[in-house]
Amino acid sequence: MLLCWELGLAGGFSLNQYDVVIIGGGAAGLSVAYFLSGHCRLLVLERERELAYHSSGRTAAMYIEGYENSVVQTLTVAGRDFFFDPPEGFSDHPLLGDSGGLTIAAHHEVRALDKYVSGWSRDCPELSLVSEEETLELAPIIRPEWLGGAAYDPSWKNIDVHGLLMGFEKGVLKNGGEIKKSAEITGLKSLASGWEVSIGDEVVGASTVVNASGAWANSVASLAGVRARPLTPMRRTAVIVPAPVTIGSGPMVHTISGNLYFRPESPGMMVCPQDETPSEPMDAFALELDVAQTIEEYQAVTNQEVSRVLRSWAGLRTFAEDRKPVVGYDSESPNFFWLAGQGGFGIQTSPGLGRLASQLILNRDDPDLAINVNRY
């Protein structure tokens, strides 16, 4: 393996020099920094005052191996051992908690439910149809008169997002990496030996720049004079509403139609309409209309009357056209590495994708065409 410090900094800089500068301190940036740390001199730059401020810190992440498409599934499975048995000292407690996933269907959707179960049976061997009695035992707030059928997969897990991201951060710092917050990039200048990165009045040098800036990935590319890729930030809304004290814990419940999911989350029930509304890169927030529609859909499926909202928020999930990550060195700007387009699966794929990206950076390899940035 070619170590970063062996990449060479020919020409040199009369400024602070790094082998790798990672732009973005969310799940993507922190995970690749974690796996790179100790192998090169690296710097993570986060524009906000805290890490994972945007999408990564606003997610209701689950560990679901049979999720999205085959590429996402492969990347998720690649991180399985990391989640179930984290490296020593990474976290003081397990990263995964028992949850289970309950898929529910209205009477007119039973055929779609059957198709869902048969279609996912190979990738999700524990997924099976369950009776009405079993469904209401798992999630007693579902309206019996609404329920046409359900399927349950006990293998779904809750991810401790805070614990995961803190573990990445601690590991980076322990291994000699640097992290700067409130560090907005104001300039990226391509040089023969790498990049000149401006952070306000400060300038640092980098052999490689990693674009892990989420919804702002194309903005960072533009700043670097690199061609944009077809990445679209999508707003997703979530609310927390009061829940019966008898609920305690329970599975993630989602509708087969894909318009709603909910699960217990302190101090109540988290409810999401699974919306994907195209958005400009921004500090996203929940719109009143989206919150109202969320409550309406939740009340239609459950026996809960919602009189108040305890909390509401939104985050941006950025997708490529094919809903696969955009990864690799840019063929037109060879010292510019993309790590973007993680959509709604950035947390659960972060160990697998972070390790893969670090290997690609160190070895200057090209990823498989399915996720290669140069497919666009």
Region of residue 152 (left: phi > 0; alpha: psi -120 to 50; beta: else): beta
pLDDT band per the 50, 70, 90 thresholds, residue 245: low
Whether residue 189 is found in the same domain as residue 130: no
Q: Residue 149: phi, psi to the nearest 5?
A: 180, 170
pLDDT score of 2: 39
Read off the pTM: 0.93
User: Is residue 94 situated within a structural domain?
Assistant: no
In this predicted structure, the answer to whether residue 24 has a pLDDT above a threshold of 50 is yes
Percent of the chain with pLDDT over 90: 87
Whether residue 267 is found in the same domain as residue 315: yes
CATH code of 25's domain: 3.50.50.60
In this predicted structure, the answer to whether residue 138 has a pLDDT above a threshold of 70 is yes
Give me the number of domains the chain comprises: 2
Whether residue 109 is found in the same domain as residue 13: no
User: Is residue 89 situated within a structural domain?
Assistant: no
Whether residue 282 is found in the same domain as residue 196: no
The sign of the CA dihedral 45, 47, 48, 51 is: negative
pLDDT digits (tens, 9 = 90+) for 84-102: 999 999 999 999 999 999 9
Whether residue 126 is found in the same domain as residue 248: yes
Upstream peptide bond of 233 is cis (omega within 30 degrees of 0): no
pLDDT score of 49: 85
Whether residue 278 is found in the same domain as residue 252: yes
Whether residue 35 is found in the same domain as residue 170: yes
User: Is residue 21 situated within a structural domain?
Assistant: yes
Whether residue 134 is found in the same domain as residue 32: no
pLDDT score of 3: 42
Whether residue 348 is found in the same domain as residue 205: yes
pLDDT score of 270: 95
Whether residue 50 is found in the same domain as residue 108: no
Residue-number span of the structural domain to which 187 is assigned: 4-79+161-230+322-375
pLDDT, average across residues 213-239:
97
User: Is residue 86 situated within a structural domain?
Assistant: no
Range of lowest pLDDT (78-92, 106-120, 193-207, 238-252): 238-252
pLDDT digits (tens, 9 = 90+) for 268-327: 999 999 999 999 999 999 999 999 999 999 999 999 999 999 999 999 999 999 999 999
Give the side-chain half-sphere CA count within 13 A for 173: 9
